[in-house]
Amino acid sequence: MSNSEQKRVQSVKLPPDKVMHKLVSLAKRRGFIFQSSEIYEGLSSCFDYGPLGSELKKNIKDLWWKSMTRRHQNIVGIDASIMMNPRVWEASGHVSSFNDPMIDDKTTKRRYRADHIIENHIEKLRRDGKDQDALRVQGRYEAAGGAKDSNRALYELIIAEGIKAQDTGSGDWTEVRQFNLMFQCNMGAVADTASIVYLRPETAQGIFVNFHNVRESSRMRVPFGIAQIGKAFRNEIVKGNFIFRMVEFEQMEMQYFVKPGTQAEAFEAWREERFNWYTESLGISREKLHWYKHDKLAHYADLAYDIKFEFPFGIEEIEGIHSRTDFDLKQHQEFSGKNMEYIDQLTNERYIPYVVETSAGCDRLFLALLADAYTEDSVDGEERVVLRLSPKVAPVKAAVLPLMKKGGMGEAALKLRDELSTDFLIQYDDAGSIGKRYRRQDEIGTPFCITVDHQSLEENTVTVRYRDSALQERIEISRVKEFLAAKLV
């Protein structure tokens, strides 16, 4: 690095429980995430992405879309409707079995997930050093999960242990009942059962029902994939943790249709590719990613793994990779009466393809990126907050800063900003000391600060400051665009 100035960057170790609090506050202050309809006290588990948040989210989705559809000639994308014929959800099993066990407190009128109430209780016993009790309750909890009437068994466990709601201390419980997680609405003017439609709880079914449409229109041959990014809705009771679990969220799903018998091989290949995407394309720390193999499988799967991320509040799922067998296409064949078979043109074989699914949550990934990137350190003794986001996902790619507004530097900086803005999201800032302006950019993860100074006017050069190292180098103004482009591939 030429003309570089060595800075001393010293990191500060932050306790994980402090990080979430700081992230939530930064997200609001700098326009990443706001509570939905905040001026009306918000709406539980609903959030709005602000100017920087929507840019960051769009970058995540663009990277995913490119990695799926551009890098694979046999994967195409669709954008299916959120509302679908209600028979779709009967076929998929969501009407009959997309349920959570819920319990109501008659005194406080609050509703909880019965399993969460018990898990929180076990956690508390452990925190209080009552490991034997925790083990005993855990054993009964596992047995309740496998019981014939598990709702009754969960209820009996809650009553026998005297478990209370941790937020209110109350425990005036109803029986445990199953609640379907799908949001219902009525289509048309009449509110009768014939007009019930659901907001989709996953994007995957929009792909399955379009299997033949996409295959025929795009002349796809098995193995091929269909990718989709879109909103999904689940009426979940949420434990907190900011945007980790929402009722309205966005999924990035891909269904890969393969010949029966070849699913294990496809599954392994996707497992590897998806894991590497997090580190290579998004720059997430390798050591914070974990595999989790499902022993208890969903009704449609014969193999399932999750990619989990070490959030400040625990290790949690960000993506599921599922071998879904031929369950979905078979179900749609049965419920729609339409043949879902594929005919291999070369061998004349007929079969219903098996499916390997990769299903990532965009909002969870957004939170994982923020949590991974959030750092506090000091540069030459001066403390700062830095989002160490990969330049590829960072919302603002560079800030153009005139050392001073006067003396022609302001005009030159604005000219450079306009030139760069055709290709990148650029911020111009001339308010306050240069140090303060660097800090503002560090805090939102801008990877490069480009300073226009006296020398710039004489020599047509600028300084580029690197966010993470705070090192600087001087480059020609005419090279800035190509410099940024090279950093973003």
| Shortest distance, position 65 Cβ to ligand GAP, whole Å | 16
Q: State which residue, 163 or 247, has the beta carbon closest to ligand GAP.
A: 247
Q: Is 236 in the site for ligand GAP (CB under 6 A)?
A: yes
Q: State which residue, 121 or 324, has the beta carbon closest to ligand GAP.
A: 324
Q: Is 223 in the site for ligand GAP (CB under 6 A)?
A: no
> CA–CA separation, 330 vs 91, rounded Å?
9
Q: Is 328 in the site for ligand GAP (CB under 6 A)?
A: no
| C-alpha 280, offset from chain centre | 17
Contacting ligand GAP (CB under 6 A), which of 32, 112, 198, 249? 249
- Own/partner contacts of 471-478, CB < 8 Å, gap of 24 or more, are 471/1, 471/4, 471/5, 471/6, 471/7, 472/3, 472/4, 472/5, 473/1, 473/2, 473/3, 473/4, 474/2, 474/3, 477/416
| Shortest distance, position 203 Cβ to ligand GAP, whole Å | 7
Contacting ligand GAP (CB under 6 A), which of 105, 253, 372, 442? 253
Q: Is 251 in the site for ligand GAP (CB under 6 A)?
A: yes
> CA–CA separation, 164 vs 117, rounded Å?
8
Structure tokens at 316: 């949690």
| C-alpha 39, offset from chain centre | 26
Which parts of 193-212 interact with ligand GAP (CB under 6 A)? 202, 204
Q: Is 320 in the site for ligand GAP (CB under 6 A)?
A: yes
Q: Is 302 in the site for ligand GAP (CB under 6 A)?
A: no
> CA–CA separation, 385 vs 289, rounded Å?
23
Q: How far is CA 244 from CA 180, 249, 292, 317, 369, in A?
A: 20, 10, 18, 10, 12
Q: Is 317 in the site for ligand GAP (CB under 6 A)?
A: yes
| Shortest distance, position 143 Cβ to ligand GAP, whole Å | 25
Q: State which residue, 266 or 318, has the beta carbon closest to ligand GAP.
A: 318
Q: Is 319 in the site for ligand GAP (CB under 6 A)?
A: yes
Phi, psi values for residue 354, rounded to 5° = -85, 160
Cβ neighbors of 290 (< 8 A, separation 6 or more) are: 307, 308, 309, 310, 315
Per-position x/- string for 350-369, each x denoting binding to ligand GAP as judged by CB under 6 A, each - no binding: -------x-xxx-xx-----
Q: Which residues would be at the binding site for ligand GAP (CB under 6 A)?
A: 202, 204, 234, 236, 245-246, 249, 251, 253, 317-320, 357, 359-361, 363-364
